[in-house]
Structure 1
């Protein structure tokens, strides 16, 4: 909570000022760690003590990346972004 978000004036001549309070971050108990799925395949061969070949293949896929939600309508009245584990990288071939 931001306890000094600004001031607001009240009264017939607007002579009374009060400090306002604003939400700076919303709680989300469902936030978890990011998940990573990794695989590594290696192949190595040596021929006649002079020729050697090595091949490595690596794959990494991540899910549950912490990101700000972009699809919340402004009519909800939220003053800051809501974060959740919704991110996943786009795979391009």
Structure 2
């Protein structure tokens, strides 16, 4: 069974116990989502810094041998279809 572990932009801790052992049944998921940029007013450079840190962390996880699924804010497969309402 595959285990999904979501890592948010403020949870980029390489010393977390999750990363001690490589488990190929675990997929770490990091997502750059628009809602993170909108729920409170942030400076654009702060958002860019958070996303850059997330990308670096995902690369580090991959280099360590972990399974990682990363969605960038501009990935077409990360966009939800519009909600249809009558």
More helix as a share of residues = 2
- Which TM-score tier does this pair reach, normalised by the shorter chain? under 0.3
Task: Give the TM-score of the pair, scaled to structure 2.
Answer: 0.24
TM-score by length of 1: 0.23
Q: Which has the higher contact order (CA 8 A, sep 6+)?
A: 2
Structure having the higher Rg: 1
Relative to total residues, which structure has the larger strand share, 1 or 2? 1
